[in-house]
Structure 1
Amino acid sequence: MTDQRLETPVGSAVSVRPPGFHRPDWLTPRGAVRAIGTGNLSLIGALAVIVAIFAWLNDGYLDPRNIAGIGDAVTVFGLLAIVQTVVIICGALDISVGSQAGVASVVSAMTFTAASGSAVLGILAAIGVGVLLGAVNGVIIVYGRVNPVIATLATLAAFKGLAQLISGGKAQGFVLDNDLFIFLARGKIIGLPVPVVILGLVALAVHVLLKYTDIGRNIYAIGGNDTAARLSGININKYLIAVYVLAGVVAAIAGILLTARTGSGQPVSGSEGLELKAITAAALGGCALKGGKGTVGGTLLAVVLLGALDNGLNVVGVNTFWQNVAQGSLLVAAVVIQQRRGGERAVGLPT
């Protein structure tokens, strides 16, 4: 029997691994790309380009105070984008989240005033209203058998009118003489603004819900194929109502932060147009508008990208109306990319 030995050139390095050792897949280049996702890598690249352009155009763009301002500015619509992600994954849409935030903002300030300056009661009242408005959306869609787009388009107008009715169309109350509202608006936790911390906690909770629980897997299943989900025993009606209630609660949190930031309840100003930004962020983040696909991480990246773009346009003195043009263009681009990736036939054109 011959003695076979592994010979290596003198001076060469030999990598010795313990038996059974396997390099984690995410440590390899391909594994890292899969872990991050090609869509997220595209967003990171786009964000890097935007930051580089605006930093070149204006030296103050990368100032720490400006970066903190971007983080604070994206929190309200970022919360709505996170919960919009859940709704879209479930195969639905909620166009009324901005109006719900407006109602919650007004209710929180008016309750605060009526309750002799009790911020806790104001916050609880706003969250209760969020539950109610979300349930209204869910019941209309499930038991009225109304398309989610049509239903929430109707409630967008209805909730906006409700906020104006109960407030008389004017900002209500003044909350910036209260320590809790001041803390929500301007406080810091471990050096981070409180609104950013709240956005991070909500995003983390929703991420865990979607990725690591049966509830999350069922939400993906409903959006991916509702017929198969129903045949597998999933109660789709209950899930839809619960998802819209969740949307109402998070919209209420956004409304509370809006009240804390502006110092009063805002029926329309500050909440109008938030639904478009939320949908744009979710679509840019990789949510398939037909349902069954999307991640919280992708949506958060898109939120940061939109915030960096809006702030950059302001810093370099571009007319604010161009922000709407940019948001609309990004939404169209995101949908077109989704259609192309999905191989769907162009409307009105031969296959």
Structure 2
Amino acid sequence: MPPPGPAASGAGLSARQVQVRSMIQAAGMLPVLVILAIGFHLLGGHRFLSVQNLSIVAQQAAINCVLASGMTFVILTGGIDLSVGSILAASAMGALIMSLVPGLGFLAIPVCLLVGLVIGLLNGALIALVRLPPFIVTLGSLTAVRGLARLMGADNTVFNPQLSYAWIGNDGVTVFPGVAIPWLAIIAVAVIAISWFVLRRTVLGVRIYAVGGNPAAARLSGINVPAILLFVYALSGLLAGLGGVMSSARLYAANGLQLGQSYELDAIAAVILGGTSFVGGIGSIWGTLIGALIIAVLSNGLILVGVSDIWQFIVKGLVIIGAVALDRFRQGSGVRT
């Protein structure tokens, strides 16, 4: 839900204190992002803020932005989707396989999106209609869909060096000589913008916040809670399918075993770092964008300063723990998890 006004959140505080608090809330994790970028620039031989590296960071953040956008909708309802990485892999496998079928390569992207949407709908149906816990359903999907992705490619990597939509992952729009905005980043920004519009400017968005804030009250007010839950999980699956398009376009390949591994953790970390509460009903899509950029800056910056792959996993894990701790701190010690 939108943050409370000064009268609600600033009881007992001076007008200046309320103003400072509002500014801090509005800034969110943006100062952390700026500090990380400057720090890695100084520690990495002044390479981090170069145009070439920023383009790489934008490409690295793009897929996580798309997955985290869908995750934001889910977490706003008080749920979780642990299956997005596996859905991405299965969707990408479907796209690569279809791209190799003579005369049907143009169906690769629709198939990719359809695979993600169908799996998301299945997750949503089990959660909204059968009323199974989101954690259990999507944990099961994480494993089952990963197995499906491996089965689709007979546990092999599927390549297509002539992939028709590879431009999505490897080209960009030139804005100045020598400066181009990657198509991956453009797609991510478009998803963020559309998600913001849905959440902040539509009745559907209001109902999503209401379901996350208090499902029982939302039901009593006439909101079709199962329909909202079905929508958010279907959307999460669809955006995971879009992530499959983006990943396969960049790699010209898909692998059911490795592609998308741990992507769900990065998406969850981005959402929580961006200020969306695990208990639902509180958060913003712009915060998710900042969170995804923080994850990408961490990944890229740690490589630039020479941190080993092992320590990168450790740092990312600590960031996820820190994100949950930050969420608890925001909501107070009495909040359930």
- One fold, TM greater than 0.5? yes
User: TM-score scaled to structure 1, two decimals?
Assistant: 0.85
Change (3 A) 1:198 1:29: farther
Q: For residues 54-112 of structure 1, what are the alpha-carbon distances to aligned partners after superposition, in whole Å with 9 as ceiling and x for unaligned?
A: 11112222221111101111111221111101100011110000000000000000011
Tell whether the 8 Å contact from 2:150 to 2:255 is kept in structure 1 after alignment: no
Tell whether the 8 Å contact from 2:28 to 2:274 is kept in structure 1 after alignment: no
- Note the C-alpha offset of 1:266: 2.5
**Once superposed, which parts of structure 1, at least 4 consecutive aligned residues long, lie more than 6 Å away?**
28-33
Q: Distance in 1 between matches of 2:134 and 2:327?
A: 20
Match 2:99 to one of 112, 119, 143 = 112
User: TM-score scaled to structure 2, two decimals?
Assistant: 0.89
Q: For residue 186 of structure 1, what is the aligned residue in structure 2?
A: 170
Match 2:323 to one of 313, 334, 343 = 334
Tell whether the 8 Å contact from 1:40 to 1:301 is kept in structure 2 after alignment: no
Change (3 A) 1:40 1:101: farther
Q: Distance in 2 between matches of 1:309 and 1:162?
A: 31
Gaps spanning 5+ residues in structure 1: where? 1-27
Identity of aligned residues (%): 29
Q: For residue 185 of structure 2, what is the aligned residue in structure 1?
A: 196
Residue 278 of structure 2 aligns to a residue in which SS?
coil
Residue 192 of structure 1 aligns to a residue in which SS?
strand
Q: Distance in 1 between matches of 2:139 and 2:170?
A: 34
Alignment of 1:1-351 (within 5 A): 34=22, 38-39=24-25, 41-58=27-44, 59-116=46-103, 118=105, 120-174=106-160, 176-178=161-163, 180-189=164-173, 190=175, 191-345=180-334
Q: Distance in 1 between matches of 2:159 and 2:37?
A: 38
Amino acid at match of 1:101: L
Instruction: Look at both structures and tell me which one has the larger radius of gyration over its CA atoms.
Output: 1
C-alpha RMSD of matched pairs (Å): 2.0
Q: Distance in 2 between matches of 1:226 and 1:300?
A: 26
Tell whether the 8 Å contact from 1:184 to 1:260 is kept in structure 2 after alignment: yes
- Note the C-alpha offset of 1:127: 1.0
Amino acid at match of 2:135: V
Q: Distance in 1 between matches of 2:317 and 2:61?
A: 17
Q: Distance in 2 between matches of 1:209 and 1:143?
A: 24
- Note the C-alpha offset of 1:169: 1.2
Gaps spanning 5+ residues in structure 2: where? 1-15
Change (3 A) 1:234 1:346: closer
Amino acid at match of 2:76: I
Q: For residue 13 of structure 1, what is the aligned residue in structure 2?
A: none
Tell whether the 8 Å contact from 2:59 to 2:184 is kept in structure 1 after alignment: yes
Change (3 A) 1:236 1:257: same
Amino acid at match of 1:171: T
